[in-house]
Structure 1
Amino acid sequence: MKKYWLTGLVLAAGLGMASAADAQIKFGVAGPITGPNASFGAQLTNGVGQAVEDFNKAGGILGQKIELEQGDDVSDPKQGVSVANKFVGDGVHFVVGHFNSGVTIPASEVYADNDVLFVTPSATNPKVTDRKLWDAFRTCGRDDQQGKLWADLALGDLKDKKIAIVHDKTPYGQGLADAARGFMNAGGKKEVLYEGVNVGEKDYSAIVSKIKAAGADYLMWGGLHTEGGLIVRQMRDQGMKTIMISGDGITDNEFASIGGPGVEGTLMSFGPEPRDNPAAKDVVAEFKAKGYDPEGYTLYSYAAMQIIKQAIEKANSTDPHKVADVMHSGMAFKTVLG
């Protein structure tokens, strides 16, 4: 699979506090631990879990060991809010998550109102941080970055090709598709098809037929790997050679498993491969020794934990507002991402 790298990453994070009476610092990691996007949830939980193990072996943070709680939001906004409320009730003040933008945004309101700092390693919708919540940070890039990249490709190398745009109607998928569409249209190129589909369906033959009828050479897909893989497979079943352009929502090996051989040639935008970063060498080796390949957002999640630790130490406090001040100060953090 060919990858078009994003040139910039938004690197920042947030954390929370434990009271003086707490024997341990309570962290939460939230994402789709079950359901169709469970592979992404595994990336988050594995990244955070390894960081907790490494930090605790080295003495914890400010002499306190980390206690980790997992929250399964099943990629559902309502479940995300429930997870956030449970974290608050359990005394969790530092959260890495959520995975989906559509879950992160409503959950963030709970965190902001209850002195919880959160770092999302994967929610790329600009609204996550553009609302200027005091406690909202991320270690990943944004949809407007990816959308611009897609549009530049369409206006450059693919200027003579027909482009269809399909999204999954979620804040992430539609946000990404709309960003690409906006930049592309502003550059003078019009898509041959713009449609939304429903998440969770198995038969996408209707939209595939529309893509075929439009004569699209390339399909910009705003969505995740499950639906994206099915659409590619069903395009090939109809004898189509249309090439998919997608983003960080397909960064899991399951995309190829679902889509089959037809995914070959897919174009994907993502940040520079973190597994190739020299700063990640030792941590990658730790993961591989356990038989786990830290793909996708695994190292982004580990980096979020590193930033949390360093910010607490810089503030010499676990007060979330003091730590947020460190986050917003422009301090440089040393992480597996660089």
Structure 2
Amino acid sequence: MTPIRKWLAAAVAATGLAAASFAHAADVTIGALFPMSGPNATYGDVFSSGANLAAEHVNADKMLGDGKLTIQYEDSQALPQQGVIGMTKLVNVHKVPYVLSAFTGVSKAIATLGQRSRTVAINGGGVGPDLAELGPYFWNIIPLANFEVKAMIPYLIQERKLSRFALVYVDDPIGQSILAQMKETLPQAGGELVGSFSVPVTAQQFSGIAARVRAANADVVYIVSYGSQQAQIIKQFRDNGVKQQLVSYSAFSVPEINTLPEAMGALYTTQNVDWNSDDPVTRRFVDDYRAKYDKMPTAYIANYYNAVRLFGLLAHDLIQQGKRITGENLLAQRKSVGTFELVGGKVTLLENGTAVSPMQVVEVDGKGGKVVASDLR
């Protein structure tokens, strides 16, 4: 080998070793945009409990080799403008390759910045169907609202014999998307939308809406709201004589609703998760969460555990290949693998980065929720 060839070979080898050393030894920070203050702060507490447990497990399993995973939290307040401010800080100051996102409006607001900077944003809380269309760097670890509505409506009509629906929805992207999905799904399933009533995002008084809902003579009242507002809707509806079956999407999967006396018997959808499964990933998650918080987890907690675990799996693969942990490499690796062992079993992400999963119906029972129907598609 000529001297110049020897020099080139040594340079290439040194570059490869340097890259591998970087990948194996470096600590990694990912970001999270959660509402940590304001009327939706309860979701930040719920989401972060799952994310933090996953980070502990990633570090305990040494998925990043000698490196340690940490999560940098920024307070979105569940508001698009605050979300953009937080995302800008995560991308430009902390230079994270991966960000946990939540809420449809926030997710849509930050998606452009994620695409431009090639930073993966992964959603485990917002369910607007258009979140599947935000570009290759925006992923959804949660089935979106179209899957939830398509699962709930046939169940209510066929199993509960309830066909007249009233929709009370917050006037924002998630409310509007569920309204559109119900208008499409109800006629196909043999149901009828007898009334739809929008409420402002900041509203807290609902006695007038309750009177209109009573007048609609529905069998079911489907509520699309979140945070402190959804609890007020439930309380005031019951106080004002709305006795119909209350139904919602996965936003009801929070402690405040599951322990609210007026919410007892309400139904909501989530993706299928068998908390008693012998699957080792699920079993470890449930056992460690119960040991740490002295209560059962919920679907939202599993979503953000899965979002962080997914990062750990992808980062581990990149480390093994001697590649840098960047958004671009995470995207390529996700597409290469496709299906992952997460809480609940194997989860497949479609080409657009959205998870597909069977759904279940949960009844609020004051004890964390009782599954009354599962494997709905």
When the two structures are superposed, what TM-score results if normalisation uses the length of structure 1?
0.86
The 3 A distance-change label for structure 1 pair 53 and 155 is: closer
Matched residue type, 1:291: Y
Q: Give distance in 1, aligned partners of 2:330 and 2:49.
A: 24
CA contact (8 A) 1:96 1:305 kept: no
Matched residue type, 1:147: V
1:320 aligned to which of 321, 327, 338:
327
Please give the secondary structure, in 2, of the residue aligned with 1:276.
coil
CA contact (8 A) 2:170 2:198 kept: yes
Per-residue CA deviation, residues 11-52 of structure 1 (Å, 9 max, x unaligned), is: xxxxxx9x9499421111221112222221112211121222
Shift of 1:64: 1.9
Please give the secondary structure, in 2, of the residue aligned with 1:333.
strand
The 3 A distance-change label for structure 1 pair 135 and 292 is: farther
Structure ID, larger Rg:
2
Q: Give distance in 1, aligned partners of 2:252 and 2:294.
A: 18
Q: Give distance in 2, aligned partners of 1:172 and 1:274.
A: 27
Q: Give distance in 2, aligned partners of 1:99 and 1:69.
A: 15
The 3 A distance-change label for structure 1 pair 74 and 274 is: farther
Per-residue CA deviation, residues 155-175 of structure 1 (Å, 9 max, x unaligned), is: 434566421111101222331
* Correspondence 1:243-258 to 2 at 5 A: 243-257=245-259
The farther-off stretch of 19-28 and 186-195 is 19-28
Residue of structure 2 equivalent to 1:134: 136
Shift of 1:58: 3.4
Shift of 1:53: 2.1
Residue of structure 1 equivalent to 2:343: 336
The farther-off stretch of 95-104 and 53-62 is 53-62
Q: Give distance in 2, aligned partners of 1:57 and 1:225.
A: 33
Matched residue type, 1:264: M
1:82 aligned to which of 78, 81, 85:
85
Please give the secondary structure, in 2, of the residue aligned with 1:290.
helix
Matched residue type, 2:275: R
* Mapped pair 1:43 → 2:50: no
CA contact (8 A) 2:55 2:309 kept: no
CA contact (8 A) 1:60 1:66 kept: no
* Correspondence 1:300-315 to 2 at 5 A: 300-315=303-318
Q: Give distance in 2, aligned partners of 1:321 and 1:280.
A: 29
Q: Give distance in 2, aligned partners of 1:224 and 1:177.
A: 15
Please give the secondary structure, in 1, of the residue aligned with 2:299.
coil
Q: Give distance in 2, aligned partners of 1:180 and 1:274.
A: 27
The gaps in structure 1 that reach 5 residues or longer are: 1-16
Please give the secondary structure, in 1, of the residue aligned with 2:342.
coil
The alignment covers a number of residue pairs equal to 319
1:163 aligned to which of 165, 176, 183:
165
When the two structures are superposed, what TM-score results if normalisation uses the length of structure 2?
0.77
Structure number with the higher strand fraction is 2
CA contact (8 A) 2:102 2:123 kept: yes
Q: Give distance in 2, aligned partners of 1:125 and 1:66.
A: 30
Residue of structure 2 equivalent to 1:202: 204
Shift of 1:120: 1.3
Identity %: 20
The 3 A distance-change label for structure 1 pair 97 and 177 is: farther
